[in-house]
Structure 1
Amino acid sequence: MNRSKLALAVASAIAAMAQAHAGSIEFTGVDVPVTDAAKRVIQASPSAVVDGRTASIGFHTILRSGDSAGSGVFGQIYDQSGAPLQTEDGANVISNDNDFASLLQNKRGQLFMVSHFESRPAAMYLTELRQTRTGDLQAVRTRALDFSQVNGGWVHCAGSVTPWGSHLGSEEYEPDAKQWRDGNISDYNAAMAAYFGASASAATDMNPYDYGYPVEVKVDSFSAASVAKHYAMGRIALELAYVMPDGKTAYMSDDGTNTGLFRFVADAEGDLSAGTLWAAKWNQKSGTGTGYAKLSWVNLGHASDAQVKDWIASYKFADIFDEVAPVSGACDEGYTSINAGHDAATQQCLKLRDVNGDGVVDVADEAIASRLETRRWAAMEGATTEFRKMEGITFNPDAGQLYISISEVSKGMEDDKGSDVGGPNSIRVAKNACGAVYALDVDGNYTATDMYGLVAGTPKTYAVDSPYYGNTCDLDGIANPDNITYLPGYNTLIIGEDTGTGHQNDAIWSYNLDSGVLTRIETTPYGSETTSPYFYPNINGYAYIMSVVQHPYGESDQDKLESADQARAYTGYIGPFPRMDGKLTGKNTLNPKSKGWLDKLAK
């Protein structure tokens, strides 16, 4: 074979490897922690066999809440003026609610991390990272991002990285604007008043329509990073938004009780500032197990960020809906009955008003409702708002499947008239308190067409004399799946947990889609949850699975806390792995002596 033909053959092989299911990964499993000592630490797989070669890995901390890096304190919360929030005894407020953390590179190859803190007020931190020659990631300096131009951040939960390399964050459990109208603002919502330097009693000065949107962060340098809320994408209890490979279609999961699944299609690739919003309708074909449905999509109309920003400043709940009380479960003529969402038994009878005051109720008013009251309007238009604890989203490009975690298959998803009051009871599947991950087939336009269970937890009762007593989900399976990520080319799904009694110590799992084998690859300390598993196949020759351990001793087992230091959260990663992007080159996948020659042939 002459040199040109060999070059073509090698180039073809490289392209094929990048697209084919050629990779293999097998983790060394982690045991269920049974001793007090094991339940207090992070356990992670010490090694993995990647493409036939053993890699030494483990969990590595980049920063813990309260750590200093440069002049910044990771997780310190600030108000609108940039002053640190303080407790009653004068201490600065440090959040232990670390959540999603992305890895980003700018055009000059510098490496950064954008990190969420899931609180009210919330925070996002920008951290400059150093990558060592052995692949370790170290914090150089960190700072809080300025959200004052968007009236602060709200409960930043999960997130993703866009195909164009920006950070796409979230604002979970959007405040209910009806509470502002009714004057009974909950303590949960009122906590945001501190951002404006006000007491909780002054929460009436807040605008609830400022929160509940995807948040995009673009990083040019440590000192130059932009923050934008994409109001056009709608306002929900946003767990995360995930942009598909077309750079236009984004799926959004809506956390809580009686919630929906949403899809946004941007006008232009790489620009989420304007587009059309859709809501899914579950057309059930089977109620067996976790169920199976054909999905249809309800068009909620078009809008731009600029339009919605004007609407936020202009309209309140009472401007959008006329409401009457249901009588014996029925609504007056002209009013639509819905389940309000988040509350398992709240029926509302609503009618759209002439919101913009032009004398007629038309599509212009519908557009306003679709963005400021997205879930309510979706339900009024016939979309399904009966999901329970919809969490992580990821995409498998090898099979053309979307995966979505449902942390608990319960309440509105059951055939339960108590939870379904006011709604059509479209989802009627068996309760599974341990949750499930669903697969969604997508067509050539990245539109999901079918939805069915992929892997589920199994409720189980352990004997009183068992070392596993108190766990309510089988320890050999998942419990309350939360965030998930897919390893392209390796047919492997990574599943993180957010569970209370299901598993005393939350875990992260590797799930082989070919064999159906689950391998436990991380466990976390008492009372914490796993957040932010997210896969990066190649950063300068190394791969990483990001992993964040949120609020140790904070969700349960508070009595086990022995010192304040133990309660500090961890932001870090599992790895480093050799690069896993399907390329044939690189010191981790071939003889180093061959690298330069193969690179030249590939060109």
Structure 2
Amino acid sequence: MVDQPKRNLMKASIATLVGAGVAGVASGAGDSYRGYSPDDSTDDDDTLTEGAPSVVGDLKRFSTTAFGAEMTGPFVFEDGTLLISVQHPSRNNPAPYDKGGVGYYRGFQFEFEGTNDDFTESPAPVEEQQDTVWAADAKFEYLIQEGDPINGGTERWGIVETPDGREVTPENFAGTTYGDPGYNMDCNQFVATNDDGTEGYLFTNDENSPGNVMRTPLRKTEDDEWEADPENAINTVNTNAFREIGGTRINCYGDLSPWETMISSEENYAHPRANLTGTISDIIEAGDGEGLRGAAYFWNRPNPSEIQTAINEYDEVDGWSVQGYWNMTGVEHLAYYLGADPVESGDGNPIDPIGDVYPNPYRYGYHVDIREPTADEPQPVKYYVMGRAAWEAPDILPDERTVYGCSDGDSKGIYKFVADRPISSYQDPMDVAGTLYAPKITNDEAASGKSPAEVPLEIEWWELGHASNVEIESWITEYDDVTQVDYLESHTNWSEGDKVTEEVLKEADLEVIENGNSDYISDEAIVEWAEQYEKQGPNCVDEELRRVPFLETRAAAKEIGASIEFNKAEGVDSKDDARPGDYIYFGISEFNDDMDNQAPDDGGDIALDRVDGGVVYRAELGPRYDVSTLEPVVVGPDFTSEEAMKDVDDSLRNVDNVYAMRDGRVLLCEDGWRGGNRSYPNDALYVYEPEETERRGPPGGDPPGRNDPPGRDSGR
């Protein structure tokens, strides 16, 4: 055990943190290495946010990842070994760090004693160390990488195929791409097949469109090393079971369910209807969607991701940033994966509409439970009842009923779902039923303009609606036959078979900008749902409107005044055996934009000082796994002033994945968007040690609520 002095362990209240910084570690890397400068992106006209950075407890850097990569996909095995993904590293790194993949820290194991004394802090990486995965106490070793032959040589790891077995790559097909296939691996969850957790299947997300979840057999050898079995690995999405539910897209982080299955979360950024803080009522009151509509309206447009370029060029409208437009890249390739007649590579991305098979937008943006994980063909189930969003991750609590989820991006929400009874008790997971909730921040101090380090967020949960998975799927199927042909036919006089011109496409775009996309849920339906909700409550709306909060979750929650103001809510987790009195952690990657000093009279519930480096909150779990107060425990650096830069090297910056270990410590991974504010450009993995031992509920027996009878009011 390494006896390191703890850095910045503060035995005090939040108020005492104000002005306290995390001690820096000197780096020998030149300021201009890789073209980065620590002076980049500062704004000396902005004042330093008090308490940024600061920590309630101990924060210690374990590792940095290869240049260009996000630090993602942490998983800790039963023996304490840590595994991570190397997501989209620079192609200019030396091999093997020029390719994405999954690997582990050889020669190191966490001791699970609740203290950060079990590892040596990794110093800031210098020069060649920045090209690799670097840690002081261990050597990183890849287990498998993008494109490796798998499944008896019939597939490549991370590469999605069409129904007839062609690889969906830009080399084969025209159309936009979200990222290199197999290059964006993120979440890892290990499903053990023996009692001591030394053999099993590793499930790995590929954050792409079409998305992927790879299953790779792993085992621990007699030499205490881990090894993969590529020969028997598969891309689960290349199975009929996945294709039958529309496949998946932008698979980001996830969770290991209490019933030992991989939960893969779809980060569907293309779901916004109203831009940023806008609402559907704003669009209707304006009589036009110019400047207000988001990407969702243009999903079935021929060449959908080009809507931003088109809007910027149309003289009839003033250009604006269409929230989520970039996330519609790869939609054409998703159609080819599902069986659409593909356009061959080299033919550009024509505006001729895809009219045979096209992805239904309401089939993406969910938590995907991969049931029967060890079967030859695992069975995926999408939890439509938990709402549709740009999901980063869920945390399924031990009662198997309560689920918290984080939606990534600007002006997004954290949501709560409570099942009528334990999810694993449903013989058919499509019968899972429960209540979806949106957050409401209630304390006036949350809009006081103070530092986020000083202000907890008091939260209530507003019920959006109750439904079952199977009935929501019946609503979704109503949109399965909508294609790009409908975009033109519904919004112009064009008919299938007519020539498609830029003028026809422009006419359709301008009609959608003004009046919305009539192929999907209408603006009027969302506003009508909200009006009935306000008058009659969530359970007394018209039957045809019950779909609104489940298929248009963000738009519905904003319409009733919920606090959909979080910017990049990227992580949520608690210990696997968490009980009432323990903590759940939420990672907000950036505390700016909607959360930054917006005037309370503008309707914002959160208006605090800016912290571009983000905030990690914790909340004590209540008697029924409810959450009522978010307490800031790790506050990142303020990137807006030169004074703040001195603390950036050694502070958590832009938290992404959050992983709670069984001893109460928390792994905090970075997705840093301003590498230049450090002396090194790499993302890091920090280990957070809370300042106090986690509290526990009554010992013995099932967690409260686990075997309670079904009830619609549970979890409030």
Map residues 487-506 of structure 1 onto 2, 5 A cutoff. Answer: 487-489=661-663, 491-502=664-675, 503=678, 504-506=681-683
Q: Name 1:115's counterpart in structure 2.
A: 204
The answer to whether 1:61 aligns with 2:180 is no
Amino acid at match of 1:457: G
Map residues 175-574 of structure 1 onto 2, 5 A cutoff. Answer: 175-176=270-271, 177-180=296-299, 185-187=304-306, 188-197=327-336, 198=342, 201=351, 202=353, 205-221=358-374, 223-271=376-424, 273-287=432-446, 288-290=450-452, 291-314=455-478, 351-352=527-528, 362-396=541-575, 397=578, 399-416=581-598, 424-459=603-638, 474-489=648-663, 491-502=664-675, 503=678, 504-514=681-691
Tell which has more relative contact order, 1 or 2 (C-alpha 8 A, sep 6+).
2
TM-score (norm 1): 0.67
The answer to whether 1:142 aligns with 2:233 is yes
The Cα of 1:412 is off from its aligned counterpart by 0.7
Comparing 433-442 and 158-167, the one that deviates more: 433-442
- CA distance in structure 1 between the partners assigned to 2:556 and 2:437 by the alignment: 11
The Cα of 1:107 is off from its aligned counterpart by 7.0
Contact 2:363/2:476, CA 8 A, preserved across alignment: yes
1:125 to 214, 217, 230: 214
- CA distance in structure 2 between the partners assigned to 1:183 and 1:426 by the alignment: 38
The Cα of 1:136 is off from its aligned counterpart by 2.2
Gap change, CA 1:222 and 1:31, over 3 Å in 2: farther
- CA distance in structure 2 between the partners assigned to 1:461 and 1:412 by the alignment: 16
- CA distance in structure 1 between the partners assigned to 2:548 and 2:646 by the alignment: 41
Comparing 68-77 and 177-186, the one that deviates more: 177-186
Gap change, CA 1:82 and 1:32, over 3 Å in 2: same
Counterpart of 1:38 in 2: which secondary structure?
helix
Please give the root-mean-square deviation of Cα atoms over the aligned residues, in Å. 3.5
The answer to whether 1:152 aligns with 2:247 is yes
The Cα of 1:88 is off from its aligned counterpart by 3.5
The Cα of 1:353 is off from its aligned counterpart by 6.3
Amino acid at match of 1:61: Y
- CA distance in structure 1 between the partners assigned to 2:624 and 2:116 by the alignment: 30
What are structure 2's unaligned runs of at least 5 residues? Answer: 1-111, 272-295, 307-326, 337-341, 344-348, 487-515, 517-522, 694-716
The Cα of 1:471 is off from its aligned counterpart by 7.3
Counterpart of 1:455 in 2: which secondary structure?
strand
- CA distance in structure 1 between the partners assigned to 2:143 and 2:115 by the alignment: 27
The answer to whether 1:100 aligns with 2:239 is no
Deviations, residues 369-401 of structure 1 (Å, cap 9, x unaligned) = 011101111112231111100001111537521
Deviations, residues 510-545 of structure 1 (Å, cap 9, x unaligned) = 1121289xxxxxxxxxxxxxxxxxxxxxxxxxxxxx
Deviations, residues 392-435 of structure 1 (Å, cap 9, x unaligned) = 11115375211111000011111236xx99x7211111110111
- CA distance in structure 2 between the partners assigned to 1:221 and 1:366 by the alignment: 39
- CA distance in structure 1 between the partners assigned to 2:248 and 2:608 by the alignment: 36
Amino acid at match of 2:251: H
Counterpart of 2:125 in 1: which secondary structure?
coil
Comparing 118-127 and 451-460, the one that deviates more: 451-460
Counterpart of 1:259 in 2: which secondary structure?
coil
Gap change, CA 1:279 and 1:76, over 3 Å in 2: same
Contact 2:370/2:378, CA 8 A, preserved across alignment: yes
Counterpart of 1:253 in 2: which secondary structure?
strand
TM-score (norm 2): 0.57
Amino acid at match of 1:131: K
- CA distance in structure 2 between the partners assigned to 1:257 and 1:44 by the alignment: 33
Gap change, CA 1:350 and 1:112, over 3 Å in 2: closer
Counterpart of 2:253 in 1: which secondary structure?
coil
What are structure 1's unaligned runs of at least 5 residues? Answer: 1-20, 47-56, 319-339, 341-346, 464-468, 517-603
The Cα of 1:170 is off from its aligned counterpart by 0.6
The Cα of 1:448 is off from its aligned counterpart by 0.7
- CA distance in structure 1 between the partners assigned to 2:646 and 2:183 by the alignment: 26
Gap change, CA 1:308 and 1:515, over 3 Å in 2: closer
- Per residue, is there more strand in 1 or in 2? 1
1:39 to 110, 117, 130: 130
1:79 to 151, 154, 162: 162
Q: Name 1:18's counterpart in structure 2.
A: none
Contact 1:127/1:222, CA 8 A, preserved across alignment: no
Q: How many residues are aligned here?
A: 445
Q: Name 2:498's counterpart in structure 1.
A: none
- CA distance in structure 2 between the partners assigned to 1:215 and 1:86 by the alignment: 24
**Percent identity for Structure 1 against Structure 2:** 25
The Cα of 1:83 is off from its aligned counterpart by 2.7
- CA distance in structure 2 between the partners assigned to 1:429 and 1:305 by the alignment: 38
Contact 2:360/2:479, CA 8 A, preserved across alignment: no
